[in-house]
Chain A
């Protein structure tokens, strides 16, 4: 694939910029060959092999903040767009490819230091190339009694993930990774180093403890955006609990889901069930696929029909696995309370799969438990897309779609039907199901997944169909009030356009701010729909 230059940049200008960048980081750490640039493509892109696939013109890998500054200054000098990545593993949401083709990728993987972990005040300070695995190993090697909160893929970056609104699996206040961050160091689009919050005060020791400092908070501007390159970031950590307890609540009727959610919201918000509540239905799953298909043969079933179906099957319609962290006697009392509360409110509720373990898990227990609920990074999620017995031709990748949905049963029912409606309208195979539970990565909203949209690196026509389907999800879910929380560069303009209150005034405000601090428009143009002035007409 020929190297794509930034539009409006001549080959000689690009070459001069590359040469200057080589002087900063060393020739070994500037990549321009086709072979090397191929490793910066988005491996899971549904644009793979299309003319408008997102491609870098070069990649440069600094190892210090000063080198980052120098590169930003060169980019300004030549007005060449740069696109920072952390570990580059933001797969399904863009991977290591830029949002604007021809950009030079600023690969921060070499800046992978864990700078500080404080066990007593429960925080960490890391660099962007540091992965969840790296941070976990650091904590473990030093025997510190704190947990990290990681998303499914352990090779991701705590910083990159938080900046992209990533989420995890332990206690409420840590699952929202952006919410648990505290303090940043940023290289601004003009090449200045800035520290936010208490980091701006030279002698403060509270940079990772108090987020705000004084005056307007600018941290938010660096999330899902292009206002600066984050070179350090702090995170609040969970103290290692004494024990963990789980029990599953089963409710008989399909419509019991509505009160079930209300009670689980209470248990979560009142800090009684301090771990993640995991919803599912005994009526779903691959073993029931044919029957579920039949249930939806003509149209999406009504609530009474679903109640009747659950009754006929004699299986509890919904279940929720509750999790508790804390001292044994406390979590036992909290679990007993949860049982009392829900039994009283929902007739026919049963409680199963009770388990209680001291923490940390033993090595043997690690083999059989859902590790992310214990803050242990791993790669298990990739098994879901890898080759399974009976699936000879696994897909090369997939693009996730998770919609932000209020924590109510009614909203979940509406979102489930919406998947069906979208698939029906587009005439694609129906994989929707009334028995898909909401995902509880965030503690105040549900994320409702539409079945992942696959990609195949050798099949551009397939990918084209998937793009249509994906865009339809973005549009229809947003129309219904359930926009996705995060998306890949190919859908970022479309998604940002859905946030249209008062003629897209929020986007206009973001763009005015962007112009104020990135006059040359060199930093990650187009990320999440925010384009610099000179490229604003490029918007899809």
Chain B
């Protein structure tokens, strides 16, 4: 699993800065934001409080990227939907995977679209 995530991570680094890669309609983005705020924001929100003490996801990614990428997922410009979906369903380190009763496939795709909205070619 880690190997697969590493490969997808490498794909991410290919992303450039032109037009958005992924087309998503406003409704999907709104759903994605709503579900992100509900499920993910509690660990991955920006505004690290006390150096991320309350935001383990953001704190962990800050430590991981050490300034090369933002720690907060909403600020990322390099996320690809398949990667987001993979982390939701397969987990990552201390972040456990999410079941479909928590985040349905449609909601997962919306979250992925939302987090990839600023990813450019």
Contacts and interface: CB of A to CB of B under 8 A. Distances in A.
B43 A382 contact: yes
Contacts of A29: 101
A7 B17 CA distance: 55
A367 B49 contact: yes
B35 interface: no
Interface string A85-98: 00111010001100
Q: Is the interface of A mostly helix, strand, loop or mixed?
A: loop
Determine which residue in B1, B56, B90, B96 has the highest number of CB atoms from chain A within 10 A of its CB, and name it: B96
B56 A39 contact: no
A262 interface: no
A43 B50 contact: no
A109 B99 contact: yes
Contacts of A36: 99-100
B98 A387 contact: no
Interface range on chain A: under 10, 10 to 19, 20 to 34, or 35 or more? 35 or more
Contact of B98 (A39, A44, A366, A377): A39
A386 interface: yes
Contact of B100 (A31, A366, A371, A395): A31
Contact of A59 (B2, B93, B99): B99
Nearest to A35: B89
Interface in A376-399: 377-389, 391, 394-397
B9 to A, nearest CB: 15
Which one of B50, B60, B93 has the greatest number of beta carbons of chain A within 10 Å?
B93
A90 to B, nearest CB: 11
A109 B52 contact: no
Interface in A25-45: 29, 31, 35-36, 38-41, 43-44
Contacts of A288: none
B83 interface: no
Contacts of A287: none
Contacts of A44: 96
Interface residue tally on B, bucketed by range: 20 to 34
B110 to A, nearest CB: 17
A40 B64 CA distance: 28
Interface string A30-64: 01000110111101100000000000000101000
B53 A380 contact: yes
A110 B101 CA distance: 6
A109 B101 contact: yes
A148 to B, nearest CB: 15
A395 B94 contact: yes
A202 to B, nearest CB: 32
Contacts of A395: 93-94
B99 A383 contact: no
A154 B90 CA distance: 21
9 contacts: A38-B89, A39-B89, A110-B101, A366-B49, A367-B54, A368-B50, A383-B52, A386-B94, A396-B93
Interface of B: 1-2, 38, 42-43, 49-50, 52-57, 59-61, 63-64, 89-91, 93-102
What are the 10 A-B residue pairs with the smallest beta carbon separation, nearest first? Answer: A43-B96, A382-B56, A386-B60, A383-B56, A109-B101, A387-B60, A367-B49, A386-B56, A380-B54, A39-B99
Interface of A: 29, 31, 35-36, 38-41, 43-44, 59, 61, 87-89, 91, 95-96, 107, 109-110, 129, 133, 154-155, 366-368, 371, 377-389, 391, 394-397, 457-458
